[in-house]
Amino acid sequence: MTTSSSAPGKVYLFGEHAVVYGEPAIPCAIDRRASATVERRADDRLRVHAPALSLDGLTVDFGDDVAVDVDDERVAAALGYVRGAVESAREYVDGTAGLTVTVESDLPLGAGLGSSAAVVVATIHAAVRELGGDIDDDELAERAYRVEADVQDGEASRADTFCATVGGAVRVEGEDRRRLDAPDLPLVVGYDGRSGNTGELVAGVRQRREEYGFAADTVEAIGDVVREGEGALSDNDTETLGELMDFDHGLLCALGVSARSLDEMVWAAREGGAAGAKLTGAGGGGCVVALDDGGDARRALELSPVCETAFDAALDREGVRAE
Ligand code: PMV
């Protein structure tokens, strides 16, 4: 028997980085998913197939103390997430059985779309079920958060894992996490083919915030943008949402987490008629998200020399699900 689950990726409509200092943030699940298929083995080993994580496909066997030797550090990190997720599921079900896990994903790695959270949530969900257990959303989101925090040396917020678990638009502020009522959002994503180093980017903001009072004010201003954005979201006011996304991007630039390629894609999307655009996630490279109601932002992004791929994305109201 095999058991499969999938979980959505996400964009930040507002609030990345500031959320680390207790300001609210609004991530939104998108209709691009990662999936995990899990099969119990006769032995006690863990085997991971990850055809989507590298060009040539990838299979890794984890023995007791076998170090994983993979060149691409993003792929190595992704394997660490899968291993952590399986261990968490086994501990939860009180199981020791070996498992073969196949991970597939439509989300680029480390690019601000929550790929690792989606992989961890889908893997725990599928592995628990394959081992005969049952897990509710609270327990799943908490376990997925702990796996991410372990792999990322404590530098993880609960936003991505909560969003991948419950889907939709969510509001995260410290320990408080909840679903928001949100209209359909005409989102467009542009990807420059790169990824930023989240740990370094978060550390850079921390340093600027400690050094300059105005950088601390900038972090608080992002919190104000999010609070304003929450109202615009419940009023389905696309124009104001776009304006606030532009504002948020400007504040993130001031905090030093954008990149030339991200700025160029943001401008391409705006010039293509988007109501607003911003980077999503840690920054430094990766993805931008635009709100485009009737414009031609995707085409404008595709024409931008720095953009590797652009796609339309809808708000996905469904979180983790059995496949
Ligand atoms: O790049 P992502 O999708 O992992 O998002 C990082 C968001 C930060 O606010 C920069 C860090 C965090 O853990 O909240």
Q: What is the pLDDT of residues 81-101, one digit of tens each?
A: 888 999 999 999 988 888 999
Q: Are residues 226 and 14 in contact, defined by beta-carbon separation less than 8 angstroms?
A: yes
pLDDT of the residue at 279: 98
Q: Which residue has the higher pLDDT, 109 or 222?
A: 222
Neighbours of 59 (CB within 10 A): 11
Closest CA to 287 of 200, 169, 185, 189: 189
User: Distance between CA atoms of 105 and 165, rounded to whole angstroms?
Assistant: 16
**For residue 39, how far is its CA from the centre of ligand 1 (angstroms)?**
31
**Residue 26, Cβ density class (10 Å: 0-12 exposed, 13-18 middle, ≥19 buried):** buried
**Token digits of residue 261:** 């390629």
Whole-number Cα distances in Å, 73 to 118, 227, 322: 18, 36, 30
161 has pLDDT over 80: yes
CA 17 to ligand 1: nearest atom:
9
* Total number of residues shown for the chain: 323
User: Distance between CA atoms of 176 and 174, rounded to whole angstroms?
Assistant: 5
115 has pLDDT over 70: yes
pLDDT of the residue at 221: 98
218 has pLDDT over 90: yes
Q: What is the pTM of this model?
A: 0.90
**For residue 31, how far is its CA from the centre of ligand 1 (angstroms)?**
19
pLDDT of the residue at 16: 96
Express each pLDDT in 231-249 by its tens digit.
999 999 999 999 999 999 9
For the annotated catalytic residues, the residue numbers are 160
Q: Which residue type occupies 167? A: G
**Token digits of residue 299:** 């085409």
Residue 10 CB less than 6 A away from ligand 1: no
Strands (E), the chain: 2-14, 26-40, 46-49, 59-62, 99-105, 169-173, 176-180, 187-191, 276-279, 287-291, 309-313, 321-322
Residue 230 CB less than 6 A away from ligand 1: no
User: Going by C-beta distance under 8 Å and a sequence separation of 6 or more, which residues neighbour residue 162?
Assistant: 141, 145, 170, 172, 177
3 has pLDDT over 70: yes
pLDDT of the residue at 29: 98
pLDDT of the residue at 72: 61
Q: Which residues pair with 30 in a beta bridge?
A: 9, 315
Kindly state the average pLDDT of the residues 19-35.
95
Residue 257 CB less than 6 A away from ligand 1: no
Residue 196 CB less than 6 A away from ligand 1: no
Q: Positive or negative CA dihedral for 148, 150, 151, 152?
A: positive
Mutate to test the pocket of ligand 1, among 32, 175, 198, 200 (most ligand atoms within 8 A of CB): 198
pLDDT of the residue at 49: 81
Whole-number Cα distances in Å, 79 to 48, 151, 261: 8, 10, 28
Half-sphere exposure of 105 (CA within 13 A, CB side): 32
User: Distance between CA atoms of 307 and 319, rounded to whole angstroms?
Assistant: 28
Q: Which residue has the higher pLDDT, 318 or 54?
A: 318
User: Band of the pLDDT at 157, cuts 50, 70, 90?
Assistant: confident
Kindly state the average pLDDT of the residues 59-67.
48
153 has pLDDT over 50: yes
CA 15 to ligand 1: nearest atom:
9
**For residue 2, how far is its CA from the centre of ligand 1 (angstroms)?**
32
Mutate to test the pocket of ligand 1, among 10, 162, 202 (most ligand atoms within 8 A of CB): 202
65 has pLDDT over 70: no
Of 27-41, 75-89, 275-289, 297-311, the poorest mean pLDDT is in 75-89
Express each pLDDT in 174-206 by its tens digit.
889 999 999 999 999 999 999 888 888 999 999
Residue 262 CB less than 6 A away from ligand 1: no
Mutate to test the pocket of ligand 1, among 13, 146, 160, 192 (most ligand atoms within 8 A of CB): 160
Residue 116 CB less than 6 A away from ligand 1: no
pLDDT of the residue at 55: 40
User: Going by C-beta distance under 8 Å and a sequence separation of 6 or more, which residues neighbour residue 95?
Assistant: 89, 131, 132, 133
Closest-CA residue, ligand 1 atom 11, reads 17
Whole-number Cα distances in Å, 50 to 80, 129, 240, 284: 12, 20, 41, 26
Q: What is the mean pLDDT of the chain?
A: 90
User: Distance between CA atoms of 254 and 186, rounded to whole angstroms?
Assistant: 27
